[in-house]
Structure 1
Amino acid sequence: MSSGEIVGVTDGRECHLGVPGRDNELLALEAVAAEQNRDAVTSGRPYRTVVFFAPLTAEPGDSTPVSIQSLRGTLAAQNQVNSREGDIVQIRLLIANAGKYFAYGSQNGQGPDVAREIIERKDRDRIAAVVGITQSRPSSFAAVGEISAASIPVIGNSVTGSRMVDERAPSYYFQVSPSNDRIAEVMAEFAAYSEQIGELTTSKDGRTAVVVYDPDDEFFSSDLQRKFTEHYKGGKVVNVPYYENRNGQIVSEVARDICAEIRASGGYILYAGRSGEMPELFDALQASADCRKADGKPVAVFSESTAATYMQDPGDMLQKHSVLKPYYVMLNNSTGTVSPDSPYSEFTVRFRSVFKDGSVPEGNAAGAYDALRVASEVINSVYAQYKTPQNSSAPFQPTDVYARLSNPGVQNFSGASGLLSLDSRHKYPPNKAVYVLESHTDKSVTTWMACGLLPDQPPDRGFPAP
């Protein structure tokens, strides 16, 4: 590609999607996939292929794609599934890179169609499902639609845009994440009533939310801005545009406008932008003299989509941006704490056993871990239905996996990101667990709010949404 990216599909051995020196994290994950795939196909047990499909590369200088962490979670889940005892269908994992912004995910006039590559490999590679996606965009929506039209089920993670799951959504699409409406409701509750935000705001007329969003990003940022505004009862909402495609917009001027609103209102920043655009804005906010408050307190920043580099190294982020006090939404309780019989703890232990490089087992990885395990659960149910004493390989198609996922689906599946139920009536989990967290310089995490069907609670003991 003109950007230098390599897009397409690999099993980790047949080709490389990462460029040495530029995509070293991706290359390392391809090596993990290659080894685990070799073990799967030589295990003597039946196997099926699942494709992890997401934007895994970016342009030089861009922040690390959040999808990299989701790929880690998927590989940890593959390891968990394939380690189970008994008559378990092994998972072989293909990695499919759609390129930055999902630019090459579907049919387009710019070059490759990675969704078509996946479809063309369906029979040869015994593809049973696709997982990942990770972004709400017109291009990811089109790619999911193309795969759905080929009758392959898709289970997304870290996807929250309303358009991805409304009445226009492709019929074969499911996701383990909630929609922006639910997340915005939780964010509005925390922003309006929490002591944490209250201590950093000074207005007597309520807590002014300075919402930073991209008006052109209808699938995610603008959607979240609208939903938050509808739910927020804590004070005024002031909007500041911040475009993913800058088109001449100067980030330092955006920061100046944000800081001016903070000084005038005594409010806080509600960041509704994309995670990849966060680092440049944070740098500009830190550099702006206007963001130094008279009371000496930092500016509260509350976000849904948080930069991957900040999740992996919060100490560096906090030290470089002392003017800010970040809080963020996550879809699992990414504290790293291990407790007996906890689904999240099981995920944490598994993740750290696969990745010994200090990678943080945060919520994007947990959601991806759950997506693959849900796919495996359904694949095993179909396998049990079709296998016979004469044919233990149990031939079945992706349509059979979709049919099983639709009815009876999975009910109260104990996931690292909460109790999950998916079926034809619930294309995304009802009452999904949502957390508000704060990271510290030592990588510890404080949980300030938790609601929904939490992983450590039985189905009837979940905390209701606000």
Structure 2
Amino acid sequence: MAEHGAGERFSSVEVVDELVKLLQDLTERPRFGELPGRRSGARAGGDRGIPLVCLVRGTKAEGLLQALQAHLRGAHPGRVPHAYHRFAEPGDGVPEPGAVEAVGSVLVRVARELAHGANDRHGKHEFRRFELVYWLMNQRLDGADPESAATLLTRLRERDLARRSGDDLKDVLDDAAGTAPWWVRLVVRLVPSFLFRAKLRGLVPGSEYRWLLRQPYLAPHDPGTFIGFAERLTSALVPGQSAEPREDTGQLAKLLVNAFLEDVRRAYRRSWWRIRSARRTVYPVVLLDGIRRDNGGYAVLKTINDVRNDTGAFDPLVIISGSAKVPPDAETTAEREPAPVSQASHAYETWARKLATDSRARRPTAWFLPLQVPDVTVVRGEVPPTATLSVRQPPVWSRTPVLAVVVLLLLASVATVGYRHVRDVVTADERWRSEHCGLARDNPDAHTVRRIGDDCVGVTTGPVPLFGPADDEDLRRFNNVQDLIVRQNREVRAAHERDPNRPYATVVYVSAMGTGRDVLTSNTARLVGVAARQARLLERTDSDEPLIRVLLGNAGSTMQHGRVVAEVLRTVLERDKTVIGVLGMALSSKPTRDTITVLGEVGLPVVAATLSDDAMPTASRMYFQISPTNDRQAQVAARHVRSAYPGKRGVVIVHSSDEEDSYAANLRLDVALRFGEQGLRVREEPYRPVSVGQGSDARRLGQGLCDVGDDEVVFFAGRPADFGKLMDGVSAGCKSDPPMLLAGDDVARYAADDTLRGQHPEIPFEYVSFAIGAQGCAAATEMHQTLRELVPEECEGDANPSLDGHAALTYDALYLFVHAMIQLGDIPVSPGHIWKEMSDIGGARALSGESGVIDFGDGQVPIDKFLAVLRVADGKPPTVLASCGDYPNRHDVDLRRAPWCPTTPR
């Protein structure tokens, strides 16, 4: 080991000064958190801790710890809580004390000194857990006595009552009970007994009994009761009757140390109801002087180190030892060479940086900070206090006078508490309803929906409420279809109860719902398709015919809250195992893509009806779509223009400038590529869309399109709301000679609405559609037949929900789930099995749907999927100009494949 006198020459004053500065850093408790000192960059966790400061000094400096004690006692404005214990010099022939005896004897003295009134300036220190463990270890019981458990229980109950009430109060209660009615005497006898037994079973939070059953040492759950575990601890410290043959002494010692440290932790635990904890602005100090290997001192420090390694908890306690050699093994390696006292602060910084690694590795010296004291003479009382300790005053709000004022103010306000409570309850209920879309707390759907702005976001078994101004007729139609699905869901449940053998599952329709006209009409059309498919299932009665319940989900008017819906579905899936997937989706955009990704992570397959962004399938391997891609519609549009308008030499792509709208951005790029391949020159005209919230300038751009050359075609890659404004601009500028307009598939919603379509009858336009609607639901297909019976008023309305083809797409989306359930047969229905069956749809197993043939091949998008080019003229319903792909279900229109169609081999 290092020589005591090694290093620089220091005076006793300088040595004590350095140590007092270190003490100031270690004892000062921060205002927030529990990290001592002022170390720059210190984290709130990971390297938290106070070291075991081991002062290695020679004989001359034996009074060093007593000098430090004097500084602790004389701190300004009051003493630092501390305890001083000096280990006795071992005599000749005296055996070395065991670990349990050494730890127990030291800690009981330290606990008593810390609990002394002199140390309670900042709050009393109590050691309930340590006292219980120490008391149990000092109980003498005969292990062979069958009544030992009852004896210990009686002693515990008497100890508990005496500790909490005192003997004087117990006598008063006994005297009062003697003159009280019988039922009072019964209560006085039974209530303490019941309360005590509840404590023993760990049912009372914060009690020492509960803690003892949950601490990590000696397997407290063996044999399974508190009394059983307590019996194992008895006699551990009784002279001549040790528990050593029964229990591991190292574990017993650790239990004692952990109980002691836990009491200190609890005293310093911050919480709003523990005001006294805030008064503690310094950490207590324990001075252990004269420690040696053969007097138990090293064993005490080693046990503390091991417990800290085991628990990883922050112990608000400063422990300083004094010894002639380096604890805990009296060995000094190069790595553990004590740092000079002059470098105490630097040594502390170095130790703190290594603590996290050393403690996780459970190093036997992880918490030790050895410091070498120069060979100077230190005598208690002879070292002038050049450096002094200071104690920060407690916060003003924690002081007794302030608390008294607060209590008086609280008492003064009692008269108004009743009124305010009722008012707050009413306000809270109104706030709850407002935050949860008008639903009461007892409504199960209130926990799966919440209002965000003007959107009711989440999943519901009932209709989705909408907020904000809306056209009354459009809103009525939308709500009618929602109510229809809710009614059919009840019929589905009833049918399942009648025949539990029928395959039964739940599918969630998730879309962008809002009060905008185009949003309302598109969701009405899509829900009509879902309702029609669900109604077809209800018409069947065979035991192998599936039944599907449809929940309604809203991800916000622009799908901006899709992640919220996905997380709601994660919780719904945990309690409702019938949920097998999601259908719908709306708006090919980044929020929609993110929603699909999270739903895939949840484990739910997603079948989109109308999405067409080329990159959408990469969002999740559990994603499928019914519609073709933007690239396919761009190919069809370009070839149609080249065939139908051979004189056209260029294309003007009018597109949204909103990069978040991946549909418009992707379609723009695809159109530019495919029209360029057909030899047409390409130029672009961006506009600011309605969705950005600053007002659309599409009308201004529409007027500018009047300058488009006769040899150019205008392709619109955007949303219906902006297309309407574009048409307004064209009408204002050149309605007598408009440019040739061709639009993407999203304009199908505009074309299906009689009112919108008829606003500018003098301006013809063409558009690409993913399905062919039928005026008045007149087509001879199963979906249209069902619609005529199910919602006859919709088929006759001005905004025919089937005319834009979206009903057919959602009809097919739900059909995929039906088909997968049928294919499973006796295999249990689950999201994974459903996804597998959907993946197999292709080739000989391709499906013939309402929107065309669905053949996924080896992918997630239908191969060679049907789409058509339609024309609107004179404000009349659209007519088919050309089509590509197979559409075997319609014979009322000419849907022969155009010779120029792009074809992907199946």
Note if 1:378 corresponds to 2:835: no
Change (3 A) 1:100 1:408: closer
Deviations 1:422-447 (A, max 9, x none): 36x12011000111112466854321
Work out whether residues 26 and 56 of structure 1, in 8 Å CA contact, stay in contact via their aligned partners in 2: no
Give the one of 865, 868, 876 matched to 1:435. Answer: 868
**Partner Cα distance (1:246, 1:48) in 2:** 40
1:244-323 residue pairs with structure 2 within 5 A? 244=689, 245=692, 247=694, 250-260=697-707, 262=708, 264-287=709-732, 289=733, 291-292=734-735, 296-307=736-747, 310-314=750-754, 316-323=755-762
Task: Pick the aligned partner of 2:536 from 80, 104, 113.
Answer: 80
1:8 matched to 2:458? The reply is yes
Q: 2:560 aligns with which of 72, 78, 103?
A: 103
- Aligned pairs for 1:46-85 (under 5 A) are 46=502, 47-58=504-515, 64=520, 66-85=522-541
8 Å CA contact 1:454–1:463 kept in 2: the answer is no
Change in 2 beyond 3 A, CA 1:347/1:438 = farther
The corresponding residue for 2:605 is: 153
Residue 118 of structure 1 corresponds to 569
- The equivalent of 2:477 in structure 1 is 25
Alpha-carbon distance change, 174 to 409 in structure 1, aligned in 2, over 3 angstroms:
same
Please point out which of 825, 834, 854 is paired with 1:401.
834
> Could you say which residue in structure 2 is the equivalent of 1:389?
none
2:880 counterpart SS class: strand
Write the deviation string for residues 40-61 of structure 1: whole angstroms up to 9, x where unpaired: 11012442111111102145x7
Q: Deviations over 1:60-97 (max 9, x none)?
A: x7764523321221111111222234221111001101
How far apart, in 2, do the equivalents of 1:285 and 1:463 lie?
Answer: 31
Corresponding residue number in structure 2 for 1:186: 636
Larger strand percent: 1
Residue 257 (structure 1) shift: 2.6
CA distance in 2, matches of 1:234, 1:82: 53
- Given residue 452 of structure 1, which amino acid in structure 2 is its aligned partner? G
Aligned-residue offset at 1:327: 1.2
State the alpha-carbon separation in 1 of the partners of residues 468 and 487 from structure 2: 19
Name the CA distance, whole Å, in 2 between partners of 1:249 and 1:17.
27
What RMSD, in angstroms, separates the aligned Cα atoms of the two structures?
2.8
Query: CA separation in 1, counterparts of 2:710 and 2:469?
Result: 45
Q: Which moved more, 1:427-436 or 1:84-93?
A: 84-93
Mapping 1:418-433, distance limit 5 Å: 418-422=852-856, 425-433=858-866
Q: Distance in 2 between matches of 1:63 and 1:85?
A: 36
Question: In structure 2, do the counterparts of structure 1 residues 172 and 39 end up closer, same or farther at CA, with 3 Å as the change threshold?
Answer: same
Distance 1:349 1:230 in 2: 41
Per the alignment, residue 113 of structure 2 pairs with: none
Q: Note if contact 1:335-1:444 (Cα within 8 Å) is conserved in structure 2.
A: no
Residue 722 of structure 2 aligns to a residue whose secondary structure is helix
Amino acid at match of 1:304: G
Cα deviations across residues 118-141 of structure 1 (Å, max 9, x unaligned)? 222124341111110132111011
Give unmatched runs, 5+ long, in structure 2.
Answer: 1-450, 891-895
Amino acid paired to 2:627: S
Aligned to 2:882: 449
- Rate the CA distance shift 1:277–1:352 in 2: closer, same or farther, 3 A: farther
Q: Higher helix fraction: Structure 1 or Structure 2?
A: 2
Task: Give the match's secondary structure for 1:239.
Answer: strand
Q: Secondary structure at the match of 1:216?
A: coil
Question: Structure 1 residues 311, 38: closer, same or farther in 2, change over 3 A?
Answer: farther
Q: Per the alignment, in what secondary structure is the counterpart of residue 66 of structure 1?
A: helix
Q: 1:367 aligns with which of 801, 809, 828?
A: 809
What are the equivalent positions in structure 2 for 1:189-268 lying under 5 Å apart? 189-194=639-644, 206-217=648-659, 219-232=662-675, 233=678, 235-244=680-689, 245=692, 247=694, 250-260=697-707, 262=708, 264-268=709-713
What SS does structure 1 have at the residue aligned with 2:456? coil
Structure 1: give runs of 5+ residues left out of the alignment. Answer: 107-112, 199-203, 387-394
Per the TM alignment, residue 240 of structure 1 is displaced from its structure 2 partner at its CA by 0.7
Match of 2:406 in 1: none
Q: For residues 80 and 157 of structure 1, what CA distance do their matches in structure 2 show? A: 19
Is residue 2:354 matched to residue 1:354?
Answer: no
Deviation at 1:208, TM superposition (A): 2.8
- Contact 1:299–1:325 (CA<8 Å) still a contact in 2? no
Q: Secondary structure at the match of 1:385?
A: coil
Q: What TM-score do the two structures reach when normalised by structure 2? A: 0.44
AA aligned to 1:49 is T
Q: 2:585 and 2:757 mapped to 1: Cα distance? A: 29
Does residue 170 of the first structure (1) align with residue 620 of the second (2)?
yes
Q: Retained in 1: the 8 A contact 2:466–2:515?
A: no
**Structure whose alpha-carbon radius of gyration is higher:** 2
What does residue 110 of structure 1 align with? none
Q: Contact 1:66–1:307 at 8 Å: present in 2 too? A: no
What code does the residue aligned with 2:865 have? K
Separation in structure 2 between the aligned mates of residue 255 and residue 444 of structure 1, nearest angstrom: 23
Partners of 1:339 and 1:139 in 2: how far apart? 36
**Shift in Å, 1:228:** 1.2
**Does residue 416 in structure 1 map to residue 850 in structure 2?**
yes
The one-letter code of the counterpart of 2:770 is L
Asked if the contact 2:585–2:592 (Cα under 8 Å) also holds between the matched residues in 1, the reply is: yes
- Tell me the TM-score normalized by structure 1: 0.83
2:699–2:729 Cα contact (<8 Å) kept: yes
Distance 1:339 1:4, change over 3 A: closer
TM-superposed CA distance for 1:366, in Å, is: 0.7
1:225 aligned counterpart, secondary structure: helix
Counterpart Cα distance in 1 of 2:466 and 2:788 = 23
Q: Give CA deviations for 1:152-204 in whole Å, capped at 9, x if unaligned.
A: 11111111001102xx330110111111111100011112221xx56xxxxx6
Residue 226 (structure 1) shift: 1.3
Q: Cα distance 1:251–1:272, how it changes in 2: closer, same or farther (>3 A)?
A: closer
C-alpha distance 428-273 of structure 1, shift in aligned 2 (>3 A): same
Once the two structures are aligned, what percentage of the paired residues are identical?
24
Partner residue, 1:201: none
Name the SS for the 2:764 alignment partner: strand
SS for the counterpart of 1:171 is: coil
CA contact under 8 A between 2:763 and 2:873: conserved in structure 1? no
- What letter matches 2:789 in structure 1? S
Conserved 8 A contact 2:748-2:768: no
Give the deviation of 1:216 after TM superposition: 3.5
Q: Counterpart amino acid of 1:18? A: L
Aligned length: 423
The SS at the match of 1:220 is helix
Do the aligned residues in 1 keep the contact of 2:841 with 2:854 (CA within 8 Å)? no
Q: Matched residues in 2 for 1:227 and 1:119: separation?
A: 35
Summarize deviations over 1:344-399 as a string: whole Å, max 9, x none.
Answer: x22222223222222341311111110101111102222x132xxxxxxxx43211
| One-letter amino acid of the counterpart of residue 367, structure 1 | L
